[in-house]
Structure 1
Amino acid sequence: MASYPSIDSELLRTFVAIADHGGFTRAAEMVNRTQSAVSMQMKRLEEDVMQRPLFQREGRQLSLTAEGQLLLGYARRILKLHAEVLSSLRQPHMVGTVRIGTPDDYVMRFMQGILVRFAESYPLVQVELHCEPSFQLLQRQDLDLTVVTREPGTEIGQLLRQERLVWAQAKGSGLHERSPLPLAMFNAQCFCRAWACNGLDALGRDYRIAYTSPSLSAIMAAVSAGLAITAQLQSLITPDLQIIGEAEGLPALPSASIVLLRNERSHSQVSETLAEQIVEGFRL
């Protein structure tokens, strides 16, 4: 059998820490070793792997050589695979399927990061993501976990966060000066739409529903194009939009609650582990 040289994963971990933090001193703190121990590790790595220097100094600045840059890409991949193997072997019970329901409002803003972190820790779990409006999700009985938007005072399940509803338009569009105001809103069953319309009615502002959709991405496409104004939770407003309000003659809007529901009939360690990560992810 052919014999191949091996690489100690701890050496690679220290090497990546040096590359990420720009020096031996900070890296030593991150890997909980002395600076001299880190230096010895890198000397060993250079001898074991390439017989060439991995670092070069220019004055006080430390940088990677061409060989160091090459090794860095491989080191990151090796450490990631190493973590996946350990996670799979140490958590053999974390296998199965978990079904999540959420409005598409929260997929890109919150769920994307949550699902990436969950997949890295539990790569053998299959996740089914069902995107529907809150009022439809509340009628389903086949989901393990459900994230929905609720009016204050009607919260059920676990409160994830509360957010103010705000008005937004494309920057420089000046749509707030139009009469009637063109609105892009969710379908009629959405209580946030009712809040926005009732607020405008109370101020005597004329408006028309120019665009309607159950999809936040469709609504935001119309708003970003300068075709309409919308009212959404503040965390969902993208950088290309301008938040407007009472100074532009629009009514102040209430806050809504985002809650997590657990299906006790399908409770499992898989679903509870993901629920914990959802709770943490919505705090960010």
Structure 2
Amino acid sequence: MRAINLPTDLLRAFVSVIDLGGYTRAADALGRTQPAISLQMKRLEELLDAKLLAHEGRELKLTEEGEALAVYARQLLRLNDEAVAKLKGRAAKGQLRVGLPTDFSVAFLQDSIIDFAGEQAKVTLSITCDLSRKLLDLLHADDLDIVIALLARDKNPYLVRSWDERPIWAVAKDFPVNKSVAVPLVTHPEGCEYRRRMTAALRAEGRDWRVAYTTPDIGGLQRAVSAGMGVTALTRKTVLPDMRILASREGFPAMEPIHIGLFYKHQRLSGAGLMLVDSLIARMDEAAEPAPTKASAAR
């Protein structure tokens, strides 16, 4: 098959149209005319033989092919811009607003951000922790620059990379498990994907449950579980030494995996932002659960 090269100027125009919400705004940001941006989009679609953008009323939407390309386009542009910044010796500076989810293990991500801040004295960081859907709303409104969040169930237009994490059942080591009583859940507020997965798994198992403790804070959730308030869903990185993991034989079936994503608008992101993104991707790749081998999958 003949190799197809995707010019970065076409990818930059494509991502700018997405991030800025239209051809005219993309043209202004890139110093081009609106017809020039339209021609670039047409050229990109011709190269890939795919429709990438479609109008729904007055709103511009990504097609399925467009959403798939957007993920690759952001990665290619990030590598391109990082290479240019490194070779030209540009220093990181400015303010970065980062969103981290309360419904995912954020401690190791906070460590990565703190390390970055220590290395980049001219960068001012502001971190917001909230439910994933709220963080994505803030990114959409340009109130955050970079977000780690659980993937939405429909469209994820600013997605750059994604990882899978399977939640596990955790309880205090001395907590008595009684299958004849309703499971006391320690959970984040309504709207949390971990909460939804816990209740869905118990419902499928035919087990009753009740909410024993609700907190928006991962630390508060961990303390409540350690104190014996009930059962919760955690990632392996947030299980504390005084907890134990519950198994399916105890009436706690496997939960659906969580899909975590890194999101940003490339056109809005500074060189400092790209450097932090690179650090976060490296940390998330290190933390990702290894894919099962053929031998383990066969067990």
Picking from 111, 114, 117, the partner of 1:113 is 111
- Equivalent AA in structure 2 for residue 97 of structure 1: Q
**CA–CA separation in structure 2 for the residues paired with 1:216 and 1:173:** 20
If the length of structure 1 is used for normalisation, what is the TM-score?
A: 0.63
1:127, distance to aligned residue in structure 2 (A): 0.3
**Which residue number in structure 2 is paired with residue 243 of structure 1?**
245
- Give the CA RMSD over aligned residues: 2.3
TM-score, length basis structure 2: 0.60
Counterpart among 218, 221, 224 of residue 220 in structure 2: 218
Contact 2:103-2:192 at 8 Å conserved across structures: no
Give the match for residue 99 of structure 1: 97
Per the TM alignment, residue 94 of structure 1 is displaced from its structure 2 partner at its CA by 1.7
Check the 8 A contact 1:113/1:281 in 2, yes or no: no
Percent of pairs with identical residues: 28
**2:188 — aligned with what?**
186
- Matched to 1:264, the amino acid is H
C-alpha change, 1:178 and 1:115, in structure 2 (3 Å) is: farther
8 Å contact from structure 1 (residues 159, 257) kept in 2: no
* Corresponding position of 2:146: 145
The code of the aligned residue for 2:127 comes to: L
Structure of larger gyration radius: 1
- How big is the shift at 1:107? 6.7
Amino acid at match of 1:120: G
Residue 173 of structure 1 aligns with which residue?
175
Deviation at 1:152, TM superposition (A): 7.6
**In structure 2, C-alpha distance between the alignment counterparts of 1:245 and 1:134, rounded to whole Å:** 27
Supply the distance in 1 between the matched residues of 2:229 and 2:205 (Cα, whole angstroms): 22
Q: Residues of 2 paired with 1:270 and 1:178: CA distance?
A: 55
> d(CA) in 2 for partners of 1:124 and 1:175?
52
Question: What is the match of residue 130 of structure 1?
Answer: 128
CA deviation digits over 1:136-159, x for unaligned, max 9?
Answer: 111112111001012688666133
Cα distance in 2 between the residues matched to 1:132 and 1:242: 27
Shift in Å, 1:120: 2.8
**Residue 194 and residue 105 in structure 1: after superposition, are their counterparts in 2 closer, same or farther (change >3 A)?**
closer
1:208–1:105 Cα change, 3 Å: closer
Look up the equivalent residue of 2:192 and give its one-letter code. C
Runs of 4+ off more than 6 Å: 151-154
SS in structure 2 opposite 1:282? helix
Q: Aligned in 2, Cα 1:126/1:119: closer, same or farther, shift over 3 Å? A: same
State the alpha-carbon separation in 2 of the partners of residues 257 and 101 from structure 1: 16
Aligned to 2:295: none
The answer to whether the 8 A contact 2:104-2:235 is kept is no
Name the SS for the 2:203 alignment partner: helix
What one-letter code is carried by the residue in structure 1 that aligns with 2:98?
I
Cα offsets for 1:7-61 (capped at 9, x unmatched): xxxxxxxxxxxxxxxxxxxxxxxxxxxxxxxxxxxxxxxxxxxxxxxxxxxxxxx
Counterparts in 2 of 1:151 and 1:239: CA distance versus 1, 3 Å? farther
Residue number in structure 2 paired with 1:283: 285
Cα pair distance change 1:278/1:192, threshold 3 Å = same
In 2: Cα distance, 1:272 partner to 1:106 partner = 22
In structure 2, do the counterparts of structure 1 residues 147 and 243 end up closer, same or farther at CA, with 3 Å as the change threshold? same
User: In 2, Cα distance between the equivalents of 1:197 and 1:255?
Assistant: 14
Q: Which residue of 2 aligns with 1:271?
A: 273
Aligned residues: 195
SS in structure 2 opposite 1:252? coil
1:155 touches 1:257 (CA, 8 Å); kept in 2?
A: no
Once the two structures are TM-superposed, the CA of residue 203 in structure 1 deviates from its matched residue by 1.5
Residue 132 to residue 110, structure 1, CA distance change in 2 (3 Å): same
Q: What is the CA distance between 1:273 and its match in structure 2?
A: 0.7
1:63-113 CA distance string (max 9 Å, x none) = xxxxxxxxxxxxxxxxxxxxxxxxxxx977422100001113557522232
1:175–1:229 contact (8 Å) kept in structure 2: no
2:254 paired residue number: 252
Paired with 1:115 and 1:130, the residues of 2 have a C-alpha distance of 12
Structure 1 contact 203–251 (Cα < 8 Å) conserved? yes
* Structure 2, gaps ≥5 residues long: 1-87, 287-299
